[in-house]
Every structure is written in structure tokens, then in C-alpha cells.
Amino acid sequence: MPTDEFTATHVEAVSPVALRDTVEALASFHTRHTDSPHLKGAAALISDRFTAVGYPDVDRRPWSHAGHGAHNIVCTKPGTGDGEPEIIVCAHYDCRMEDLADATARAPGADDNGSGVAAVLEVARLLAPVDLSTTVRFVAFSGEEQGLWGSTAYAAELHAADSDVYRVINLDMVGRPPADGSVTVERDIGNAVPGNDAASHALGAVMAQAAAAYTSLPVKLGPIYASDYMPFEAHSDITVGAYEGEGNPHYHRTSDAPSTLDYGYLAAVTKTVLATLLAEALDGVDAARSTGAP
Ligand SMILES: [Zn+2]
């Protein structure tokens, strides 16, 4: 991907300070376990932040599953055109302890997954004044840790309403780099619907190129696995993810604190997602924006 000035300017504006602020705000809730009364406060914080950066259409959508229930936060940015599949940029905002049933222990969930939510909010902030050809939905899911409950409900809701295909970019643990400093771009390999793999790999290639063009992150390729893209994949959507990879010793522990993250790394992953969105959603106006022509 050749760099272009429009994208470079927006990518440079990604703020490690803003990312850290969101992670710390989310981690300040005693826990964001889906069955905890604290989760509502986290949902309000996320929805308030979408509103604060200029989005009028922010919806707290309830879901329920086997006697449990919470809300997904959906912030919709309407596109200026149509014809291209809408893009969902998502991350789960709930968290857990080692014992999944423990809804009362201290669980800051900074990397898992305050980091992903912070990246989604930062991309939304920077794109608020930018016209995109494609509608983008920024979504924060709950119930992920219990079994993708929130995302399963939302994917079903979308696909009951229309027969569209959606493109889904999911961020789950993107704040603590592995030893080699890489990000793993996850693509769909088989799963419920084999027919959508090629489109997923193509979108993953755009994401890998975005990382190469706008960051110094080494990219690894991996499979989508066990996070909120899976229910969408099962509805034939085109899914990819960004992931730091395995190895965070604080995973699902009280020690998953904001101080254990690398905000330069989180910023680089955020830049990758932002550049991917601009590459996908500004398609067709590349010539005008890369030359700076009026
Ligand atoms: Zn997670």
C-alpha cells in the first residue's frame, strides 16, 4: 500500500495519551464482569465517549441469554455512498477473572479488553469529521467471556433485519506486545462458512499492508479464533482481527492492570486499524486525496 498524505495525517493523530486514558477509565471499574452491577457504568462511559466526539447515533442495545443479560454499545457512522459492505469495528468491554463465575473479584481487564475498546474509541474519534463512503458501526460487546453472548445476539439481530454481508474488524487484546513486538492479523480459515475465507484473506492483506505502510509493527498472520467475529463469520460475514498473540501472564487475572500495557504498541495497532478503514472506506477517492487536489 503506498502511503497517502490524508491517511498519514490521520494516523499520526492517534494519541497514546487518549488510549491510556480510556484503558485507565475502564480499568477503574472494580470489575466489568457481565454479571456485575459495575458493567452498566462501563457501558455508560463508552457510550458517553462516542457521543462526546460527535456521534449522535449511539445505541445501548440489550441482549439476554439463559437468564443473563447486558448491553452492546453500537455507534453508527452513516456512509456517504452505498454498495460496499458496511464495516463493523468491534471489541468486547466485559472482562473476567480466572474463575469465569467470579463476578465480584477485582478484575481491571486492561489488556483484555480495555485495549481493544480504547482502540475502537480512538479510531471513532479520529474519523468523526471524515466522510466515509461506507457506513461504519463501532461496537462494544458484553458477554464475550461467557461465550460471545452479546456479539451472537447482535449478529443475529443484524441478519434478521437484512441479508447484507458485513465486514467485521475485531480487536481483542492489543495492548501488550509479544517479545518480537508483532501484531497478529487474524483471517478466517474455514469455520462455519468456507465461502467467505477469500474475502477475509483479502481484507487481512489490506490490514497487513496498512501496518507495513504506517507503522513499524512486524505482522504475523493467524486464524480468527474464539472472539466476537465468530458469530458474524457464521452469518457469512467477512471477518478479520488484530491480536497481540498469546503470552500475557496477566491474562484473566487481577494483575491485568493499565500499567502493564505498552501504549506505543497500542497506538501502532490503532493506526493499523485506522489506515485499514480509510483504505477500505475511502475507495474510489484515492486519486483526489493522495494528490491533495481540490
Ligand atoms: Zn478478550
Q: What is the mean pLDDT of the chain?
A: 94
Q: CB neighbours (10 Å) of residue 67?
A: 6
**What is the per-residue pLDDT for 283?**
55
Quote the ligand 1 centre to 32 CA distance (angstroms): 12
For 178, the grid coordinates are 509479544
How far does the centroid of ligand 1 lie from the alpha carbon of residue 243, in Å? 10
Spacing, Cα 283 to ligand 1 middle (Å): 31
Find the mean pLDDT for residues 87-108: 97
Average pLDDT, integer, range 137-164: 96
Ligand 1 mean position, distance from CA 171 (Å) = 8
Angle, helix 115-127 to helix 39-52, in steps of 10 degrees: 20
Q: Is 170 helix (H, G, I), strand (E, B) or coil?
A: strand
Per-residue pLDDT tens digits for 60-84 = 999 999 999 999 999 999 999 877 8
Distance between Cα 26 and ligand 1 center (Å): 14
Which residues are registered as beta bridge partners of 140?
Answer: 73, 91
Question: What is the average per-residue pLDDT within 149-169?
Answer: 96
Q: Which grid cell sits at 114? A: 480495555
Neighbours of 59 (CB within 10 A): 14
CA 172 to centroid of ligand 1, rounded, Å: 5
Domains and CATH numbers, the chain: 5-291 (3.40.630.10)
The DSSP-derived string for 257-294 is: -GGGS-HHHHHHHHHHHHHHHHHHHSTT-HHHHHHT--
> For residues 7 and 279, is the Cβ–Cβ distance under 8 A?
yes
pLDDT value at position 133?
93
CA of 287 to the centre of ligand 1 (A): 38
* pLDDT confidence bin for 279, thresholds 50/70/90: very high
- How many angstroms separate the alpha carbon of residue 289 from the centre of ligand 1? 36
Look-up of cell digits 480504547: 118
What is the CA angle 41-45-46, rounded to 5? 120
Percent of the chain with pLDDT strictly greater than 70: 96
CA of 83 to the centre of ligand 1 (A): 32
CA of 286 to the centre of ligand 1 (A): 35
Sign for the CA dihedral angle at 186, 83, 276, 168 comes to: negative
Q: What is the DSSP letter of 196?
A: G
Centre of ligand 1 from the C-alpha of residue 132, in Å? 28
CA-to-CA separations, 190 to 198, 226, 233, in angstroms, rounded: 10, 14, 10
Distances in Å between the Cα of 125 and the Cα atoms of 137, 178, 270 are 13, 27, 12
Dmax (CA) of the chain = 57
Q: How far does residue 284's CA lie from ligand 1's centre (Å)?
A: 35
CA 130 to centroid of ligand 1, rounded, Å: 29
Q: What distance in angstroms lies between residue 84's CA and the mean position of ligand 1's atoms? A: 29
Q: What is the pLDDT of residue 289?
A: 45
pLDDT digits 0-9 by tens, 220-238: 999 999 999 999 999 999 9
- What is the whole-number distance in angstroms between the Cα of residue 31 and the centre of ligand 1? 14
Spacing, Cα 245 to ligand 1 middle (Å): 11
Instruction: Give residues whose Cβ lies within 5 Å of ion ligand 1.
Output: 112-113, 172
Q: Collapse the DSSP code of 54 into the 3-class scheme (helix H, G, I; strand E, B; otherwise coil) and give the result.
A: coil
Prediction pTM value: 0.95
Q: Please tell me the distance between residue 293's alpha carbon and the centre of ligand 1 in angstroms.
A: 43
Q: Is the pLDDT of residue 294 over 90?
A: no
**For residues 200 and 284, what is the distance between their CA atoms, to the nearest angstrom?**
20
Give the distance (Å) from ligand 1 centre to CA of residue 111. Answer: 8
pLDDT in tens, 176-202: 999 999 999 999 999 999 999 999 999
Q: How many CB atoms lie within 10 A of CB 188?
A: 29
